[in-house]
Structure 1
Amino acid sequence: MSTFVVLIYEDEEVWAAADEAAQAEYFRQHREYSARAAEHGITIVASEALQRVATALTLRRPDGTTQVTEGPFAETAEQLGGFYLLEAPDADTVLKHAHLLPAHYTLEVREIMQL
């Protein structure tokens, strides 16, 4: 087994504009994703949704000085909205299972480096 992170990117405005029914459908898809993990040989180690990107703090240390700014690292059309930390046999299994998540997400799957 290997450990993977599935990073969930989305345009925050899609969520903000969604009515209660659409939001309920997104939550239903996340519950299904979690409930069906074992069918794919996946164990969910952790998962969290993140607060809006406007609440982010960015730390930079150029030239040995510390600079903290409010807001995201980069201005982008999509923001990091949450993640799943998984144990799975391989990346292909993670990708196959990821199809259960809402289709408007951009998903980044990365294996955790063993140190």
Structure 2
Amino acid sequence: MKYLGLAYFTPEKFAAMAPDDVKKLVSQCPALDAKMRATGKVLISASLGDLDTWRTLRPRSGKTQVIDGPYTESKEVVGGLFIIEADTYEEALHIASMHPAAKLGEEGGWVVELIPLDSYLTP
């Protein structure tokens, strides 16, 4: 079974952190990402680009409307994603718990959401 992991952060909390604290926090991420990938169960893992470059496409009156920036109704914004192929849900949870957003960054509002992917969405 495949699972989508979404890593969220809270931009306002992250922006309130001292630059040195952000640098220290982010410097810990590569090792945790490597540990997660070393399981051999992570099919893809990526950080998402700068929020200023995001666009939202929404249908409006038969046309596609393009809106600048992320459009979300929550304080959290998706900052990264990963896809895990695991034999059990427990295995997927264990692997997802290795992601930096599940281990670090409480002050930045980091959190991971793990979502089973429907089989018709995957080859």
TM-score class normalised by the smaller sequence: 0.7 to 0.9
- Which residue of 1 is the match for residue 111 of structure 2? 106
The answer to whether residue 13 in structure 2 is matched with residue 10 in structure 1 is: no
The answer to whether residue 50 in structure 2 is matched with residue 33 in structure 1 is: no
Q: Deviations over 1:25-50 (max 9, x none)?
A: 12222222222x24xxxx21111110
Q: Once structures 1 and 2 are overlaid, which stretch shifts more, 69-78 or 2-11?
A: 69-78
* % identical equivalent positions: 23
Inter-partner Cα distance in structure 2 for 1:60 and 1:21:
38
Q: Once structures 1 and 2 are overlaid, which stretch shifts more, 44-53 or 100-109?
A: 100-109
The answer to whether residue 21 in structure 2 is matched with residue 23 in structure 1 is: no
Q: Shift of residue 6 of structure 1?
A: 0.6
- Residues 72 and 62 (structure 1 numbering): CA distance in 2 closer, same or farther, change over 3 Å? same
How many residue pairs get aligned? The number is 109
Secondary structure of the residue that 1:66 maps to in structure 2? strand
- Which residue of 2 is the match for residue 62 of structure 1? 60
- Which residue of 1 is the match for residue 51 of structure 2? 53
Q: Would you say the 8 A contact 1:91–1:109 is kept in 2?
A: no
TM-score by length of 1: 0.79
Please give the root-mean-square deviation of Cα atoms over the aligned residues, in Å. 2.1
Amino acid at match of 2:29: Y
Gaps of at least 5 residues in structure 1 are none
Q: Shift of residue 56 of structure 1?
A: 0.8
Q: Deviations over 1:33-72 (max 9, x none)?
A: 222x24xxxx211111101222111001123122101111
Inter-partner Cα distance in structure 2 for 1:19 and 1:61:
37
Inter-partner Cα distance in structure 1 for 2:14 and 2:26:
10
TM-score by length of 2: 0.75
